Structure 1
């Protein structure tokens, strides 16, 4: 029998021993009135009263008739002191059947040890959950009669992502990241709702996908006998709502793209898209700045933060620079003075397979991606992109052949995308049909959505649209290097057959 399985069998035997003592190790509820953080912050306040806390045992030490342990709740850890003569003979026998990882509820007064550690003196306790599987990446070692926990999960990122529950138990800083993620989402919603935006839901299953260039996930609806696609973007549905009179709308939800996985991409990701009638991409810049700075203040208390060792000041206004200007500034290349052949040669330095049929605009966009993106410390808005990069955007008012589109960047991350939205229905149809003509050679090009074009023909007011990658936003504001560190359950290759079959 493997060692871990042996420990599991031993713990199962302890469950039966606890039940034999007349105690259910899996009761229905407990009322933890206090938490470890508030007790540790002011132990004198609780010295004359009995506290009630609950948490997971993270260390146990002691011999004979007394024992010390640490329990961990959502707010932190605190020491507890258990004495046989205080809790009684049967409860103490149950105590001796507990292991690291078990969850208990504790009541009793608070005192401070002679070493200065805040401690709860246990007057009574209750077993809330007897665990049977030991924390697999935690080592227990006896040191002077104490069972101590040694964490080796931090260096094993694959294990962290596959077993997030263990990661959260062992690493409090990971729990803090996901708390901040929640606060960031709440703040973004508040910023939008304070400005009159209405949150709406768009279909996750769509007959016609669109709003971005990406390969979709495909499924089949048996009752209707139709193929459906998981949404790659909510854009075309949100614009329908603007046409219908919902002048400020947003969707903050999951999108799905059947693409590769790297430190900034996950096939299932969270996107904010917001649309504001009678606005343009300048208004979307101001909205982006507001969401970022207010979210940063909420979770960090300051607008100046350290991200991957670099100091970033998010206070507006952020730098604005046109794409061709950014290429000249950071790569020393004046694209306006180069022929298409010269541009193709520069792109092929980075992508030898770049096809010769690429348009001039796409060559400029590719050159920017290869030579400039990683140089953008930011925060900076890169504006006026080549017109070939999107069929959903209005033409630039200042640079012919370009569109009123911006992408914000921080430390080389593209963190969003925004347009002065196209609302000319005739031109919109022309652009989407021209794009769809390339579907046979480019599998990421979406089909033409006729229902969307019908809505556009009814008439959409001038509109500013914005998309913000929420996972990347959390990465920046919590200083995480990988998107998998801010998604609780990132997409992973199955470790083995059993993992692959687990629902």
Structure 2
């Protein structure tokens, strides 16, 4: 046991002996600190207001100067100074000042009663007339000046990060406001949110490797969902014309500044619509959320200014790749010709990219994706990469699909949904062959979904938005870990061993 923790435990025992905690059952604050700061903004220096107040929060700093002490107390809304005077406290308890200044440490949660005064230096303060220990902290806060310098520790001990970093707290407030604004916008336009299964016997709706699990009682192998798409489409078949779900998705993939194996997305489906309708919906929805969270549609992001004011740029994948590389993939007669042209341009040619369409996507990812800083709808993907999207009405070999890119990241994905059950079966069977050949991200054949399509699904537009990446944009966050409260991390012991091995 560290000496510091031992000392704090001794103080906790002393508080218990004095009947002052150290772990209270409840406390009733009358105000939040930010409300006091706003209400008494005009209180003059040196003036007092006799209105009684009670506030509660965590002691962030403390200074004791003889018969006077100044603490900083912070609740969720922000900080306020405590003006602690021995003479004032002695009116109710002669020992109160000594106990407060000797038994309360930075990091402790306390409640105080008093009135408002503004010091001669202009600091609004609660002039303390009584105090209550709410929770004695046995561990200290991070260093006042250096905070949590270890980025990994910020994610691993998010509670400390939240305590010492107002910026982190604001990030998660904005996340909550963004999700609330998004749900309200959809609800107001007649969309119903309906939950779909997380545990699935046949994963589908995306190219992704699932997490595998097992149901003991049923002796049934299951996976965690990699998308909500196929079940939401079943709801459209069942008669829900506007439906969505916002929830967790699980993909057994690597971790990076853009990827976390557990993330949040919203999928939206609208009957009698196509991907052009989804573009308009996406523009309006994201612009609305940005307005609600940031107060406008022009925002800063990592040194750039991003303009989310609709309408947004629209360009086909073929056009963008040709502009960036000079290669017109529509002219290639086969995979080998396309591969040779790519190699001549210094582009990598993965062996798994076994068609002209897949090579087109590779060229896009290598040369175009990161350059799309302002919001851009990238249209008309190859059919090979889009097994759930409807064939393009006028461009053979392509589908009616777009992805939205902002600051070089895919933020949304949408289709004119494939509703032909025969075509859909052929596409899924082709995916099944890829899966059998070793593609761990390829989908299998979901027979129940195909049966639902045979019942009949209306023309439908579908959209998926990555909530975490959208929040990254709205909070000027460089990493997805900055906007997920508790991102997946390697166990600390394993991390230490890896560092030693390196």
> TM-score if structure 1 supplies the norm length?
0.93
Q: What's 2:224 paired with?
A: 230
Of 371, 378, 403, the residue aligned with 1:375 is: 371
Q: What's 1:114 paired with?
A: 120
1:36 equivalent in alignment to 2:36: no
Please list the CA deviations of residues 140-193 of structure 1 after superposition, one character each: whole Å capped at 9, or x if unmatched: xxxxxxxxx22331x321110000000000100100000000000001101111
1:485 equivalent in alignment to 2:490: no
Partner Cα distance (1:107, 1:275) in 2 = 53
Q: What's 1:73 paired with?
A: 75
Offset of residue 417 of structure 1: 0.5
Offset of residue 89 of structure 1: 2.2
Q: What's 1:496 paired with?
A: 493
Q: Tell me: CA distance 1:347–1:99, structure 2 relative to 1, closer, same or farther (3 Å).
A: farther
In 2, are the aligned partners of 1:347 and 1:366 still within 8 Å (CA)?
A: no
1:203 equivalent in alignment to 2:197: yes
Q: What's 1:278 paired with?
A: 272
In 2, are the aligned partners of 1:330 and 1:375 still within 8 Å (CA)?
A: no
Offset of residue 333 of structure 1: 2.7
3-state SS of 2:399 partner: strand
Of 23, 27, 37, the residue aligned with 2:24 is: 27
Q: What's 1:142 paired with?
A: none
Partner Cα distance (2:120, 2:340) in 1 = 74
Moved more, 343-352 or 162-171: 343-352
Please list the CA deviations of residues 347-401 of structure 1 after superposition, one character each: whole Å capped at 9, or x if unmatched: 5577756117611110111111111001111201000011111111111123221
> TM-score if structure 2 supplies the norm length?
0.93
**RMSD of aligned alpha carbons:** 1.8
Q: What's 1:177 paired with?
A: 171
Please list the CA deviations of residues 57-105 of structure 1 after superposition, one character each: whole Å capped at 9, or x if unmatched: 0111013322111011111111111122222323223212110000111
Q: What's 2:500 paired with?
A: none
1:126 equivalent in alignment to 2:132: yes
In 2, are the aligned partners of 1:66 and 1:83 still within 8 Å (CA)?
A: yes
Q: What's 2:382 paired with?
A: 386
Number of aligned residue pairs: 485
Misfit runs of 4+, over 4 Å: 346-353, 497-500
Partner Cα distance (1:257, 1:32) in 2 = 44
Q: What's 2:315 paired with?
A: 321
In 2, are the aligned partners of 1:320 and 1:380 still within 8 Å (CA)?
A: yes
3-state SS of 1:54 partner: strand
Please, which runs of 5 or more residues in structure 1 have no aligned partner? Answer: 139-148
Moved more, 78-87 or 224-233: 78-87
Q: Tell me: CA distance 1:499–1:219, structure 2 relative to 1, closer, same or farther (3 Å).
A: farther
1:97 equivalent in alignment to 2:103: yes
In 2, are the aligned partners of 1:218 and 1:228 still within 8 Å (CA)?
A: yes
3-state SS of 1:151 partner: coil
Q: What's 1:354 paired with?
A: 350
Please, which runs of 5 or more residues in structure 2 have no aligned partner? Answer: 498-502
Q: What's 1:144 paired with?
A: none
Moved more, 172-181 or 106-115: 106-115
Q: What's 1:53 paired with?
A: 55
